Structure formats: C-alpha cells, structure tokens
Structure 1
Amino acid sequence: MAPGARLPVDGRGLSLALVAGEPSGDVLAARLLSGLRPHLPDAYFHGIGGPNMMAQGFESHWPMDKLTVRGLLPVLMRYRELKGVQNQLRDRLLAERPAVFIGADYPGFNLGLEEQLKAAGIPTMHYIGPQIWAWRGGRIKKIQRAVSHMLVVFPFEEAIYQQAGVPVSYVGHPLAELIPMAPDAGAARRALGLAEDANVVAIMPGSRMSELKYNTVAFVQAARLLLQRDRSLRFVAPMAGDRQKAYFQELVAQAGLQDVEIQLLDGQSHTAIAAAEAVLVASGTASLEVALFKKPMVIAYKMMELEWQILRHFGYQPWIGLPNILAREFLVPELLQHAANAEALAEAMWKQLDDAPHRQRLVQRFTDMHHSLLRDSAKESAAAVLQVIERAK
C-alpha cells in the first residue's frame, strides 16, 4: 500500500490497529470490536491483544503477555524490551497506515505510540482516559499531542478533555452492562456449592503476581481474625489463573496460615462477589465491580516500599478506590500500605458485615452509581470510531 493511501470505508480492505497490554484492556477492546464487526465485516483488526480480542477475529503480532507488567520499578527494568516492541509496531503501522489506531488503556505504552502515529497523520484513539484526575495531571499535554479522540468510561471525564481541547465521547462503562442491577446472591452461593444462607466473605488480593506478593498474607491474616469473631464465616478467593493460585497457596503456607479455610476458585470472580456479604478487595477495577454488585467492601493495597514512597506524593485526591472517587466521599474504607495490617483490615471488615443500616445505604448509592455508568458501550464506542474514520477520509 502506498504511503498516505486511504482505504474504502465500507470495510473491504480496511485496516484497524489496536493494542491492549493486559487482561482488562483485552476485555475492553473485545467489546469495542464486537460493536465494530457488524459495520466492518471485512476489516482487518490487528496489533497486540489477548484471547477476548482474538475471539473477535483479531490478529495479535506479539503475545499480549509480553506487555503485561505493572508497577513503576518493574516497567523500568523491562523498558528496553517494551520500547523495542513499540518501535517495531510503530514502523509496521507507519508503513501500512491503518485507518485508525486504538490504544486500549495501557497508557505508558500506547500514548507514546499514538503520539508518533498521530504526528504522521494516522488518526489515533484511546479507550479509557488515563486517570489524570487522580494523579499525573500534566499528562494532558501528551494526550493533546497523541490522541485524536478520547473514549471515556466515567461521566465526569468528558468535561476534563473538552476543556483541554481533546475530542471526547463518554461511552459508559462495560462492567455496568455485564453486572446485573439486582444480583442473585442465593444462586451464586449454590453455584459455589455453599448453602444459600451461608455467611460468605470474598477476599480478592489482586490478579497480578506483585499484588499477591504484597497483599495476600495480610488479607488471610484478617480472615483468621474474623473467624475468631464468627466461626460461621465462609471465605472464597477467586484466582486469576493457575500461576496466581499456586503463588497464593505458597504465600499462605510460608506464613503458616494453612489453618484458615478458604475456598479457592478458578476465576469466577463475579460469582464470588455476588455470593458475598462483604468483600476485602485490592484497589483497582475490582473495587468498581464490587460496587456494581452492591456489596459492602474494604479497599486495601500494599506495594514495594520504595514504590510507595515515590507514588504516594503524586495523588491529587483523598481517595484511591473507584467507588469513593465516583461518590466523591469515603463510602467505604480504604487502608493503604502500613495501614493495611491484619488487625485494621479485620476491624474494618467486621463493621461492613455488622452494620445493617450502612449496608442498606450502600445498596442505594451503588445502584445510583450503576445507572450512571450504564450505556451500550459496544455501540457507543464503535460509533465514535466510525466517525473518526469518516472524518479522516
């Protein structure tokens, strides 16, 4: 294809490039692809992605796992490798000139790639705006240079990008569509082999190995303390994969916590949350999932001490948990780093389990939050992509 050539918008021969660097982005991009495919049945979707994207007919030129790394120091240690992949993909896309490039989250990698592609005249989109409202607000300058059109999943983000002169569309949060407005706790407990009236607590220390490393022991120690208060409690812990499950078990054994009975689940995180009376959850998207299931929770997070000392100075808001950020108040407790010790976690969880009026208030607040995030995200995001392609003709 000659440099600068444009492809027909009816989809025949049309090329769209996407990059997702971790499982959450893979799910996000797959949802977008499901909305695009009916409009562009013959288009070639390619780049870097995971199994959910490939199920939509996407071709991944590198395994997505090659990009999946989290945390400041781990990224620095693998910088040259990641930069090499970025450069190779950039050169390929500059030669091919796709109709649009879409970065699915993963801003450290995607924004740099988008900046180079946009400078060469290739339209660029970014799906899920980086949390510049929480930290690193100066990143908006790079976004202005890098992104032709931003897709955001929280209503308040539209105004931020509009004020910065970045074209933007609010498309709703895909999780709001996947999670039922009124979850069936009894059915979820039956699915896990538990009694319908079981007093279930879900513990979710994270899906990444680094999160498991720093969160697991304190979470399980908190479970032991809760059991001392109420022997009827039943604990479930969804595991993201076999590696995570084995590592969780190793950490528990090393800490001498094998006496704490926890039902480990292969995936099934939504079933675990639906079944639970309350959830102890690592900060991140999982906390939003818990809110959409209308469950009380305690949000906690621990990390490498050096990383904590660096990152704790960058935040702009008093909250780190998405439910609290969306509510603009501490709806649920947040315990971070040294504060996330077993005693404090257990005490905070007990209050979530024991305070019935608080639980009812949370159900109403989380229901309102759910409605505010509910859109047909596949349809809305696909429409925005098609508009960008049309404008670039």
Structure 2
Amino acid sequence: MPETLFTPNKAGLRIAMVAGEASGDLLGAHLIDALRQHCPDAEFAGIGGPRMLARGFRTQVPQEKLAVRGYLEVLRSLPELLRIRGRLREALLAERPDVFIGIDAPDFNLGLEAALKKQGIPTVHYVSPSVWAWRPERVGRIGRSVSHMLCLFPMEPPLYRQAGVPVTFVGHPLASEIPMQPDKRAMRERLALPQSSPVFALLPGSRQSELDYMGPLYIETAKRLLAAHPDAQFLVPLATRATMDQFDRLLVKHKGWELPIRKLFGHAQMAMIASDVVLVTSGTATLEVALCKRPMVISYKLSALTYHLVKRKIRLPYVGLPNILCGRQVVPELLQHDATPERLAAEMLRIYEDKGYQAEVEATFTTLHASLQADSANLAAQAILGVVG
C-alpha cells in the first residue's frame, strides 16, 4: 500500500476511482484516457486493474481482492473487504480528492460513496446497478450515495430521474471500441487458426471464484465438443495471471491438459471474433460477445444457497445482457442445474450446425450494437467534470 494515494502539493485534479473487476478496469482505462484529454495533469488513484495501472493509476491493493461473487463467498471475504474499504475511506478523507468515481462493484462502492459524499467529496457512480432487473428499491439509497449516476443502457436514466437522482446516459464504450463488422477470417489469420475447422471460445469468467465453478464445467464441455469435432480448436482468454495459473491447475485436475486449448492473456475480443460459437459466463462478457456478433451459450453456476436467494429477487425472465436488452431470448441460457457438460455441448453443437440461426443472431446483435453507440468515455468525462465544477 502506498503511503499516500496522490502526490502531495501537486497541481492538477486528483481523481479517486475504484474498479472491482476486469470489466470495470476496461471502463476505468477508457475514462482515464478521456479525462486526460481535458485535464492532462490529473492524477488517478484508488483500486484498479492492469489496464488502469498501465495509464499511471496508483492502486492501494490488487484489484483481484474485490473480485468476489455470491453471498457465501462474500461472507467469507467480508472481513478483508471491510478492512480494505475502511483503509481506503480513511486515505480518501485525509487526502480529499476532487471527485470519487465508483466503477460498478456497487456492494463495495456505494457504501464508500455515501461516506465520502457526507463529508463533502463529490461522488460519481459509473454503471448503474441492475435496478431494472432486481431490487428496484435501491434507487433511493443510491441517490443518497452519489452526486451523479452514469448509465450505460437507455432504459436506466428514467428510473433515476423519477427518483430525483442526477443522471447521464453515456452509452456503452464497448459499442464504440468493437467494429460493427468484425472480421473472423482476418482474426483467424492473425491467431494462426485454421479457417475451416470449428473454433469455440470458452470464457469461464474474470474472477477466481467464478473459475472454481465454471472452469471444470467448461473443460468437460470442451471434451464433448472435441469428441464431436476432432479438429476443433478452443480459445480461453483469461484476465489476470492469477486466473491463468488457476485455469492451468484445473486443466491438470480435470485431465484436460491434452485438449487443443490456446490460453490468451486478455485479448477476449480476439477470441470472440475468431470463434464460431462462444460459451460464456453471465456478466459483461456476454454483451462483448454480442457486440462481436457471435452466437453464444450463456451459463452460470452459484452455490445452492446463493442461487436460491438471487433467483427469488430477479424480476426478469433472463440473466444474460443480450437477451435482456433485446427483450427476448436471442441466445440460450443454461443456469445452475441445467448447466451440465452434456447440455452445454449439445447447444454449442446445435448452434454451430445452424447457419441460418447464426445469421439471424448476427443481424439482431448489429441492431443492438447501433443502439448502444455513443462517445461514451468523453460523455462520462464531461459529466464528471461538471460534477467537479
């Protein structure tokens, strides 16, 4: 932990940020770039990941410390998470940045934002919690914690305006980053992959706790896909060194070491674009696959207790962002007890064989892509600077 987050007595804005996982790290990196366009001397510190660190961000603890999912898993990690938040809160109150930006991670960030706002530090939350899907009563509490909300999806701002919470729709930065027509052939050439063989991307999640559940499931699914297509290739992008090492251990444990798997350090979009079908853990990555115009099977597994508690609170019939945003089931979702290697492999093979369905998915996701395009990072930067004044 650095003695101070920011350089003492240095001119320029001091901007504190917390990004809790890989998707937040990507948003944070784009935001740092956009803010530096307006404020070249700005300093950035808090908790962030490798993309933010590459831009000079100072992190108090490794981002992986916050990447915990599920009620039971969070309970086990709660003492350490509370210590981290308490130390960061003390540091921020002592150094008083010009603004604090919580990037997603609402369970960690909203409480921190409330404490900072109470002490006169402006707070911005970037990525609305899924209040349209579950626990809508959170909007009022969120409004007491944040000075401004930045929303990625067009159905979110009316919920906040109705509650009197200042809000800006900024679109999704991935919609500007990912080309409207990704080139699968060119990407396969770049990755030295055969053009005619089936290529499946497996995205088991960016968190170590997700890999515990999804890694073995995806390895067993790959075995069945290979049995059906002996020339199949598998791409597995992993966000951090820790998750890459963890996946290696899972390959050994589950006798998947001889599978034709190529692990990529990051480069998830490259894997998506090069693939025929993607098997993806529910989360932001599902939207990334949709913007790459690839068909997918969405899956997720939790502890039995966590799944029971979460299922009771969800208000929508889908969990995958592409299905939620399209308002219908465009791609299959196999969750919890339905998430078996046999069923996942069967859906992947069905999609691979159905070229008409693939074309329909591509057209649907092209329309979705257009609806989310905006100069997201710059819009977010302008809203943040407006809060700073």
State the TM-score, normalizing by the size of structure 2. 0.92
Query: Which range moves more in the overlay, 83-92 or 148-157?
Result: 83-92
Secondary structure of residue in 1 paired with 2:26: helix
Match of 2:127 in 1: 128
Number of aligned residue pairs: 380
Counterpart amino acid of residue 330 in structure 1: Q
Match of 2:284 in 1: 285
Secondary structure of residue in 2 paired with 1:62: coil
Match of 1:210 in 2: 209
Match of 2:155 in 1: 156
Q: CA deviation at 1:117?
A: 1.5
Match of 1:295 in 2: 294
Match of 1:75 in 2: 74
Match of 1:4 in 2: none
CA contact (8 A) 2:69 2:210 kept: no
Change (3 A) 1:255 1:42: closer
Secondary structure of residue in 2 paired with 1:37: helix
Aligned equivalents of 1:56, 1:226: Cα separation in 2: 40
Match of 1:53 in 2: 52
Alpha-carbon deviations, 1:136-155, whole Å to 9, x = none?
22221210110110001111
Query: Which range moves more in the overlay, 133-142 or 118-127?
Result: 133-142
Change (3 A) 1:235 1:66: closer
Aligned equivalents of 1:94, 1:252: Cα separation in 2: 45
Q: CA deviation at 1:82?
A: 1.9
Aligned equivalents of 1:326, 1:67: Cα separation in 2: 27
Alpha-carbon deviations, 1:199-243, whole Å to 9, x = none?
211122222222222122322322232333333332222233443
Change (3 A) 1:120 1:242: closer
Is residue 178 of structure 1 aligned with residue 159 of structure 2? no
Q: CA deviation at 1:283?
A: 0.8
Match of 1:344 in 2: 343
Counterpart amino acid of residue 89 in structure 1: L
Query: Which range moves more in the overlay, 234-243 or 96-105?
Result: 234-243
Q: CA RMSD in A?
A: 1.9
Q: CA deviation at 1:13?
A: 4.0
Aligned equivalents of 2:54, 2:363: Cα separation in 1: 36
Match of 1:194 in 2: 193
Aligned equivalents of 2:106, 2:293: Cα separation in 1: 29
Secondary structure of residue in 2 paired with 1:110: helix
Aligned equivalents of 1:301, 1:115: Cα separation in 2: 31
Once the two structures are superposed, the pairs formed by residues 1-393 of structure 1 within 5 Å of their partners are 12-390=11-389
Q: CA deviation at 1:244?
A: 2.5
Q: CA deviation at 1:258?
A: 4.3
Aligned equivalents of 2:80, 2:56: Cα separation in 1: 27
Aligned equivalents of 1:104, 1:186: Cα separation in 2: 35
CA contact (8 A) 2:219 2:251 kept: yes
Q: CA deviation at 1:265?
A: 2.8
CA contact (8 A) 1:14 1:99 kept: yes
CA contact (8 A) 2:183 2:273 kept: yes
CA contact (8 A) 1:236 1:264 kept: yes
Query: Which range moves more in the overlay, 207-216 or 287-296?
Result: 207-216
Aligned equivalents of 2:202, 2:49: Cα separation in 1: 26
Query: Which range moves more in the overlay, 193-202 or 318-327?
Result: 193-202
Change (3 A) 1:149 1:310: same
Aligned equivalents of 2:350, 2:264: Cα separation in 1: 26
Aligned equivalents of 1:70, 1:218: Cα separation in 2: 17
Aligned equivalents of 2:88, 2:341: Cα separation in 1: 45
Aligned equivalents of 1:343, 1:206: Cα separation in 2: 20
CA contact (8 A) 1:210 1:303 kept: no
Counterpart amino acid of residue 375 in structure 1: A
Counterpart amino acid of residue 205 in structure 2: G
Change (3 A) 1:237 1:150: same
Query: Which range moves more in the overlay, 363-372 or 348-357?
Result: 348-357
Change (3 A) 1:22 1:325: same
CA contact (8 A) 2:232 2:260 kept: no
Alpha-carbon deviations, 1:317-370, whole Å to 9, x = none?
110001001001100000001101112111211221122221111111100111
Aligned equivalents of 2:279, 2:241: Cα separation in 1: 21
Question: Matched residues, percent identical?
Answer: 48
Unpaired runs of at least 5, structure 1? 1-10
CA contact (8 A) 2:201 2:279 kept: yes
Alpha-carbon deviations, 1:252-276, whole Å to 9, x = none?
3333444543233333221111111
